Amino acid sequence: MMKREQQPRESEAVSIQWFPGHMTRTKRQMEKCIRLVDAVAEIVDARVPVSSRNPVLHKLTQGKPRVILMNKSDMADPEETKRWLQCYRAQGTPAIAVDCRSGRGLNGFIPLVREVLRDRIAAWEQKGMVGRTIRVMVVGIPNVGKSSLINKLCRGGKADVADRPGVTRENRWFTIGKGFELLDTPGVLWPKFEDPIVGEHLAFTGAVKDEVVDTERLACRLLEALVPLYPQAVCERYRLEPSFLAEKRGDELLEAIGKNRGMLMAGGVINTERAAAAVLDEFRSARLGRITLEKAEG
Ligand code: G4P
């Protein structure tokens, strides 16, 4: 589904070490919990909608009706987000763009779930179950914004530990409105860590801790990814001539950025470590602009 731009000169991908330790445990917990809910709300990072998904979610959630929340949409390219939303809909999964930090877009959450459960709700009502509580499981890989979503939707994020079957310490229910309950993801949902591009894209966004990666190489790779997609943003932010970008490797770009920013060490050597930290920080805080690294096709 994702188009990857061919780049003129690429340095090697930064490899990310993932530890799938909890996979089996999460699978087991999911199997138990999925029976307790009517639908699944999958949160993805709108900047990396492919890499921020779990590769086997459909299987794990046993085909339950699903909606997608494109979170962090405040930092993603609005045009690309629009395309992704159309793409999800075309595939039969209703989706909305949200910003769980400010709460923008979250008014659409309950209507979205009702939409995907429309037939079921009609069937319940026919059986006399009018106003039956709707239960939704919130799923997403670490750092995608699950806690922020729950906090915003239930104002304060206080767990509502009801005395009912299926409620354990690891499995918390939140009431977000009359007749509407959320279940936090049981376990840690993993991304598709065997794909190096996925690991790298998640590292760009900060979803993978910087302690486990070489940040200088990561910043070089990020620049190589940004140049073909958002050349203007790179030129404007780092005062580079458009003609300079052509055929440049990430390390050459990083040197130029460090130089332009006056990041020099003793002897006039460019401090590329500082330049790398600046590039990563400015991408992650959207000071480089609203950027989507993975495009929807079509
Ligand atoms: P998780 O439960 O899925 O692990 O994710 P969590 O909600 O903890 O969110 C991870 C980080 O992403 C947090 O930042 C959170 O504020 C930020 N975040 C979540 N949703 C959005 C969004 O829609 N837009 C933006 N811009 N950021 C979002 P943090 O740096 O870890 O904490 P803090 O800066 O909020 O203190």
Q: How far is the CA of 46 from the centre of ligand 1 (A)?
A: 13
In ligand 1, which atom is closest to the CA atom of 141? 3
Q: Tell me how many domains the chain contains.
A: 2
Q: Are 220 and 205 in contact (CB under 8 A)?
A: no
Please check whether residue 135 lies inside any domain of the structure.
Answer: yes
Query: Does residue 71 line the site of ligand 1, with CB under 6 A?
Result: yes
**Beta sheet of 180-183, edge-to-edge order:** 95-97, 66-71, 39-45, 134-139, 180-183, 173-177
pTM of this prediction? Answer: 0.91
Angle 95-101-102 (CA atoms, 0-180°, nearest 5)? 90
> Residue 79: pLDDT above 90?
yes
Tens digits of residue pLDDT in 256-290: 999 999 999 999 999 999 999 999 999 999 999 99
Closest CA to 87 of 70, 99, 73: 70
Tokens of 256: 């130029």
> Residue 34: pLDDT above 90?
yes
In the chain, % of residues over pLDDT 70:
87
Query: Does residue 70 line the site of ligand 1, with CB under 6 A?
Result: no
Higher pLDDT, 207 or 188: 207
Can you say whether residue 166 is alpha, beta or left, with left for phi > 0 and alpha for psi between -120 and 50 degrees? left
In ligand 1, which atom is closest to the CA atom of 140? 3
The verdict on 80 and 173 lying in the same domain is: yes
Q: Are 242 and 230 in contact (CB under 8 A)?
A: no
Query: Does residue 100 line the site of ligand 1, with CB under 6 A?
Result: yes
The verdict on 138 and 279 lying in the same domain is: no
Query: Does residue 143 line the site of ligand 1, with CB under 6 A?
Result: yes
The verdict on 53 and 132 lying in the same domain is: yes
Range of 262's domain? 196-284
Q: Are 141 and 53 in contact (CB under 8 A)?
A: yes
The verdict on 101 and 166 lying in the same domain is: yes
The verdict on 159 and 219 lying in the same domain is: no
CATH number, domain of 215, equals 1.10.1580.10
Please check whether residue 297 lies inside any domain of the structure.
Answer: no
Query: Does residue 290 line the site of ligand 1, with CB under 6 A?
Result: no
In ligand 1, which atom is closest to the CA atom of 151? 7
Query: Does residue 191 line the site of ligand 1, with CB under 6 A?
Result: no
The verdict on 108 and 236 lying in the same domain is: no
Query: Does residue 75 line the site of ligand 1, with CB under 6 A?
Result: yes
Tens digits of residue pLDDT in 95-150: 999 999 999 999 999 999 999 999 999 999 999 999 999 999 999 999 999 999 99
The verdict on 180 and 200 lying in the same domain is: no
Give pLDDT, residue 12: 66
- DSSP class per residue in the chain: -EE----SS-PPPPP-----TTHHHHHHHHHHHHTT-SEEEEEEETTSTTTTS-TTHHHHTTT--EEEEEE-TTTS-HHHHHHHHHHHHHTT--EEE-BTTTTBTGGGHHHHHHHHTHHHHHHHHHTT-TTPPEEEEEE--TTSSHHHHHHHHTTTT-----SSTT-BTTB-EEEEETTEEEEPPSS-----TTSHHHHHHHHHHTSS-GGGS-HHHHHHHHHHHHHHH-HHHHHHHHT--HHHHTT--HHHHHHHHHHHTT-B-GGG-B-HHHHHHHHHHHHHTTTT-S--SSEEP-
Environment class of residue 114 by beta-carbon count within 10 Å: exposed (0-12), middle (13-18) or buried (19+)? middle
Between the CA of residue 227 and those of 50, 98, 231, 232, what are the distances in Å?
A: 20, 27, 5, 8
